[in-house]
Chain A
Amino acid sequence: MSSAIDLPLDILWPRLIAIADEMATTLIRTAFTHDVIEVHDMSTGLYDDRGFLIGQTWQGAVGHNGVMPVFGKSLLAAFPPDTIRPGDVFCCNDPWLANGQTADLFVTTPAFHDGRLLGFSVNSVHHMDIGGRKGSGLSEEVYEEGLIIPHMRLYKAGEPNADLFTLLRRNVRFQEKVIGDIRAQIAAGHVGCEALVAMARDFRLASLRPLADTIIGRTEAGMRAGIAKLTDGVYQAAMPVEVEGIDQALTIALTLTIKGDQLNADFTGTSAQVRRPVNCPINFTRAFVAVPTKLICDPTLPNNEGTYRPLGVTAPDGCLVNPTFPAACFWRLSCGQLVGELMFRCFSQIVPDRVPADSGSVPTWQFYVNGVGRTGRAFALHQHAFGGMGARPGRDGLASVAFPYNVRDVSAEWSEMETPILIERRELITDSGGAGRWRGGLGEELLIRAYTAGDVHPDLPLVLSGSAGRMREPPRGVFGGKPGSYGGIEINGRRLPPTSSPEARFGTQDQVRFLIPGGGGYGDPGQRELSAIAADLRNGYISPEAARREYGYED
């Protein structure tokens, strides 16, 4: 019986992930905003006492997930173990320490067992507001993007840091919701610590380190085994980024080096940071190096410190994917997710049979419509919209889907209950998926306007801002597949200039139309099965003209 009982890894490892899942559920059930409850723009995890991530929920958004490993180390640098007391709770939203934008707040709670620091629970949430210019697409410095909280104590030895709460309340819109979400984060942190301590007690663990080292070691070995199967070499990919108001051409360039079981992503050649909120701090860049790598190398491995050890990420200081303070970065999603696309393009050179074409869902279009009601009360619509996934070898791309990001929309009915914005259409766009032997997933069209009979001020403008992309260069097809459709935003039929961080004002009589791109096709359209073309035609995924033009198909 000896070997089996020493460290029952078969039990403890799943337990850590289950604890993180319990935290996520607590967060979702007690939070105050859609961003958590409906959208799931959050994550949860557990650290050992060194700040090594050892467990994480499967429900988290990939950006949050990918930042947690590096965050643990900066937490301990800010708060050495001998300064940490039971009842402390820490928080931080500094884009360079946390998730690359001010809206994402990380809350960590230390767990003590037998008077010793055992580890931490950690959770992160995208907050509805953090002050500043309401997610403006035009901000030039991070100072405009709300309150920046470096590593600070939210609670000190069980007592709330009242000064910080007062400061927060005074700086944010919708303060009761923001504070409500922070309270949910504190509750989730508490749940995680309790469960962690119970586990240590039940299994008589004086320290998590031996367990952590085993988990991290096996995960790292799994990732390395996956990387080692890729052919050694140096692979390159680059793509343009369009930003309104920035005249010079902008590029993100990736050089991916596979050497044995090590992967290095280098972004030399990427354009310098810009005075617009699309700059992506390196924590978020690293997360989107990791996502495609996991997808391609071993999707079943749990996410922890070990996932990131084989991944080297380097980028010149002051570039779009490693901007220096105080770069604006609220919509870092726009550049950050393109990093994921460049990773796919490099992998496509190595294992073409496992990688989709470009996706119109990269980047996710996330936007706010800020407005004012008749009595002067502010309202904010916050929605995500999604393009089509690139075609996969052997299968069409999924239509209008959160890929590789994994959040969800807010129902149109719920949205119309909450804000006086009418959602007039949310539908797939015919012919938006790139033609190919396997077709790219369709993008979506979203049509909104003010509900003028509702609580919307007739004279004040509504302000749209958000992340977007692929307006100048559509998602590419591969191996003969055709590109997906372009992205675009129109106000009353007038197209806005291409940009990754749109900001536009519109009146209560105006109609705003979002065209979220479709995915690229995979393989020669001439090889597409006739039955698949006929079904596409019948279902209106393609038009008769496109069937003729792209596939030479006559009904």
Chain B
Amino acid sequence: MAPEAIFAVACDIGGTFTDLVLHDEASATLHSAKLLTTPQDPSIAMLEGLALLAHQVPGYVARTRRVAHATTLIANAVIERKGARCALLCTAGFRDCLEMRRHVRVTTYELWIDPPTPLVPRYLRLPVAERTYSDGTILQPVDPDEIDRIAAFLLTERVESVAIAFLHSYVNPANELAAERALGRALPGVAITTSAAVLRQIKEFERTSTTVVNAYVKPLAARYLARLDSGLGAAGFRPRLEVMLSNGGLGAAKTAGEFPIRLLESGPVAGAIIARHYAMRDGIDNLLAFDMGGTTAKACLIQRGEIPITDELEVARSQRFTRSSGLPVAVPAAHLIEVGAGGGSLARLNALGLVQVGPESAGAEPGPVAYGRGGTAPTVTDADLVLGYLNPDYFAAGSMRLDRAAAAASIVAHVGKPSGRDLLGAAWTIHDVVNETMASAVRMHVTERGGRLEDAVLAAFGGAGPVHACNLATKLGIRRLLVPLRAGVLSAVGLLVAPPAYDQVQTVKRLLAGADTAEFARIFAAMAEEIRGHLAAVETGAAVTFQASADIGYAGQGYQIRVPLAGMDAASLTEARLASGFAQHYRSRYGYFYDDVPVEVVHLRLSGHAEGPRYVVPEAASQPRQNRGSAVQRQAFSARRQALLPFAVHQRPRLEAGDRFSGPAIIEEDSCTTVVDVGTEVEVDRFGSLAITIMAEGERL
């Protein structure tokens, strides 16, 4: 009899490091491994890491029931333009929609900043004489002979992958399907992606772009997943590979191979997943997940346990962090704001004489000046070191000694002298400016998505997140912070807590008054069937929970809000229930609602996730609350006092649940450092997280 399968293993392949965690479900223990990523073939580091874990836990391979995986491979392939040779079949008259990009320039006042060139050159964008109208009527069917002629051309052009995107295919995909059939017959072995399969959503540029990006990465994703799969099989793993999708759910390798664009945010979303997990464990309704690493900071507001989902993702931006400079990918993805503000972000004086931090970064090489690896321009890490927040002798678990004198000299030379500030003033300004950049991005996120910051809890992750969290929270008017244990390296654990999940969308666009809501129920049922198929490929027979929603707006408005629905059966979809749902959500978002304007339903959305046991962060036995002092102190900069003060220094591994103390304090652990200012109270909660309360001036807990 086979031994009981009690292990789950997760692997997060990042730009620099490949992190692995192994969960022993029987003893509720975690094992981990960390390797340098192998960019030429990321599966190498993953397989090596899995082997390393076998040294720690002999025999786990045969007893593993889940292998979950996140990768930045797909996004990188688009950024580095390493995808397939692609063609696009499009409606005659619209072959340039991909190139016109809705006519937008990247920045208003610059002559030289151009949008990215299309993934498919014009001579491979092939017009097809066909047409569907907006109500689904076929005005002109596809002529198979024309497709045959096109196929012959594609053959001579050695095209590996084809996108088919016709106008209004989201209403009626018949013409796309006819072209796909004809092309499939003529070109066996060539990957085909139809826009209706990828995204049944209105707006031709965004849908075409999404389809083309999928076609572009499809052969590469298929090769990678096949290699990984056979590698896992050879290593003795039996379960099918699960892959993290951009929406924060796990998908089957088959799904990932068919729709690799759903992996674009595979890496970054894992951080949001673990943040949500803590929010749910701690019963936090309104949590701002804040993840600050070496080159970027990411954030999202998780309300009532829901990760915000966007359909406005862009990949391979020509101007990083600038909207409209990338290739739109409109499939549902976690809405993470990303700003060029990390520990390695470079500080300089701009043309206006203002201190500017990022988006340029010193990266891992040469890195901050303090690393002593040849960096000369000051970074956020250098400022944090000078401000006393980082310990030069205990950085990254003591693996690296930081050179404070070099950091200080660089800050004085590049920022202090030119702006007339002393060392401390210059270092503080760098720290404060990077916080301001993140605060602005967070405020904008909330403006776009709705929600409140005042009663949010800020959860800090990433190597630099806990250093900046307290001062960032103060800027945003946030009073409570949460810093989970091992906050610097939690992403891979996110793969263990995520459920298999998939979502689908269908544009319906019609006035709510008099709409055929029974048809909505039929559409939902069809989407549910499709989602069940994707989830069954991950976990056969698992119960699936669905959440239906509708994007509803004022007629012709062009912008809608997402209204969650109580169910997807005809009874839940009556005109009255949809209308009252819209009114309620619009009012809670904007504070008002107009009942004198007609309302339209634009998209129906359905997401489903499979139920089943997942990893949960274990609870520690809690001590009675005790005041924990610290004999060690270090001078560091207090934002509130605008002066150096002695900060108590605590070692995180020695803290126990129930411990509490007051700021100013610095809490050090292997993967990160947490800094709290004067006027804060810190408590170690039952999950080992630091729960921090920031008090108003003069207030006592």
Contacts and interface: CB of A to CB of B under 8 A. Distances in A.
A58 B323 CA distance: 11
B112 A395 contact: yes
B103 A11 contact: no
B558 A539 contact: no
Chain A: number of interface residues, binned into ranges: 35 or more
Contacts of A392: 111-112
Contact of A413 (B112, B168, B448, B594): B168
B661 interface: no
B420 A3 contact: yes
B122 A539 contact: yes
A422 B140 CA distance: 14
A2 B643 CA distance: 11
Nearest to B509: A417
Interface in A427-448: 427-428, 444, 447
Interface in A405-426: 406-409, 411-414, 416-418, 422-426
A538 B351 contact: no
A375 interface: no
A411 B202 CA distance: 9
B440 A413 contact: no
A244 to B, nearest CB: 26
Contacts of B422: 1, 4
A25 interface: yes
A90 interface: no
Interface string A100-121: 0000000000000000000000
Contact of A34 (B108, B167, B443, B558): B558
B559 to A, nearest CB: 5
Contacts of B168: 413, 416
Interface stretch (B39-47, B60-68, B427-435): B427-435
Contacts of B557: 31-33, 37, 180
A176 interface: yes
Contacts of A413: 134, 167-168, 202-204
B554 interface: yes
B355 A10 contact: yes
Given A1-B642, A4-B429, A414 B203 contact: yes
B105 to A, nearest CB: 6
Interface stretch (B93-101, B247-255, B620-628): B93-101
A514 interface: no
Given A1-B643, A403-B105, A22 B447 contact: yes
Nearest to B127: A427
Interface residues of B, number: 72
A15 interface: yes
A426 to B, nearest CB: 6
Given A14-B437, A416-B168, A426-B97, A38 B558 contact: yes
A13 interface: yes
A444 B100 contact: yes
11 contacts: A1-B642, A5-B425, A8-B429, A10-B354, A183-B592, A404-B108, A412-B94, A417-B134, A428-B100, A451-B133, A453-B137
Interface of A: 1-5, 8-11, 13-15, 18, 21-22, 25-26, 28-34, 37-38, 58, 60, 62, 65, 176-177, 180, 183, 187, 191, 195, 218-219, 222, 291, 294-296, 298-302, 354, 356, 384, 386, 392, 395, 398-404, 406-409, 411-414, 416-418, 422-428, 444, 447, 451, 453, 538-541
Given A195-B443, A356-B111, A408-B103, 5 more contacts: A13-B354, A29-B447, A180-B554, A399-B99, A444-B96
Interface of B: 92-97, 99-100, 102-105, 107-112, 114-115, 121-123, 133-134, 137, 167-168, 202-206, 350-356, 419-422, 424-426, 428-429, 432-433, 436-437, 440, 443-444, 447-448, 509, 554, 556-559, 590, 592, 594, 596-598, 642-643
Closest 8 CB pairs of A and B: A425-B93, A4-B425, A539-B122, A18-B440, A299-B109, A37-B558, A416-B134, A408-B102
